[in-house]
Amino acid sequence: MRALPRWVRELVVVVLVVLLIRTFLVQAYNIPSGSMKPTLLVGDFILVNKLVYRLSEPQRGDLVVFKWPLNPNLDFIKRIIGMPGDIIEISDHKVFINGQELPLRFVERVEENGVAKLIYEESLPNGVKYRIALYETPLLPRKGVQQIHIPPGHYFVMGDNRDNSEDSRYWGLLPKENLVGKAFVIYFSGDIPPLDTTEVNLLTGFRQLFLAFLNPRLERIGKPLIW
């Protein structure tokens, strides 16, 4: 049998390296919805470290990609708020961890598609700070949570866009085994339309990236997501 041409051998090596990196180290994702505003916008393309939780434990405040417990075929991204052993309680927009309310500092009032939002800086007990968004006038009553004691191997996750996020308030705690990895940087960003959950697949991902290249947001490229 004749030896394979050099370019074929090199291509095979490149494909194998890419597959190994994607499987074990880093994977790219795009943000299809506004559930993480103002931290992440629709059209942000992020890199996720898939190795980190093999070597260390998740930390409070991490932005994590995970398999949605109600449908493991779908990947979600949220922020870890509650850790194993914590007692979580939520009343209106106030979050309590082990009886202590998370401090909120008002930042600004913004309008988005004619809807007024209030931006706050929220602080976690470990010192991690980030911004959340709340409707000035909620369209629906805010989802409350009675006291939940988080068992070992589980986490309470929330979106930063608190009035527009399907998270642990609605479907429960996140098992550790569902974690895919930790988001650490925005590698590209563009102004593109949002997607419904059912539209998220490989082909629409390529379409979104193409549209993002046509409408880039250069100021967001390279923004770190690690606190």
Q: How far apart are CA 191 and CA 183, in angstroms?
A: 20
- Classify residue 2 by its DSSP letter: P
Residue 155 has pLDDT above 60, yes or no: yes
> In which order are the strands placed within the sheet that holds 179-189?
26-30, 44-49, 179-189, 63-67, 75-82, 154-158, 174-175
| 91 is a catalytic site residue | no
The separation between CA 187 and the C-alpha centre of its own chain, rounded to angstroms, equals: 15
Q: How far apart are CA 26 and CA 13, in angstroms?
A: 18
* pLDDT for the residue numbered 201: 65
| 35 is a catalytic site residue | yes
Considering the entire predicted model, what is its pTM?
0.87
Phi and psi for 159 in degrees, rounded to 5? Answer: -85, 150
The single residue of 37, 50, 78, 182 carrying the catalytic annotation is 78
Residue 41 has pLDDT above 60, yes or no: yes
Fold of 6-220: Umud Fragment, subunit A (2.10.109)
| pLDDT band, residue 117 (cuts 50/70/90) | very high
Segment 92-101 mean pLDDT: 96
| pLDDT band, residue 197 (cuts 50/70/90) | low
- Domain positions in the chain: 6-220
Q: What is the largest CA-CA distance in the chain?
A: 73
The single residue of 33, 35, 165, 189 carrying the catalytic annotation is 35
DSSP 101-169: EPPEEEEEEEEETTEEEEEEEEE-TTS-EEEEEEESS-SSPPPPEEEEEPPTTEEEEE-SBTTS--SHH
Residue 23 has pLDDT above 60, yes or no: no
Helix, strand or coil, per DSSP, at residue 20: helix
Encoding tokens for residue 12?
Answer: 């095979």
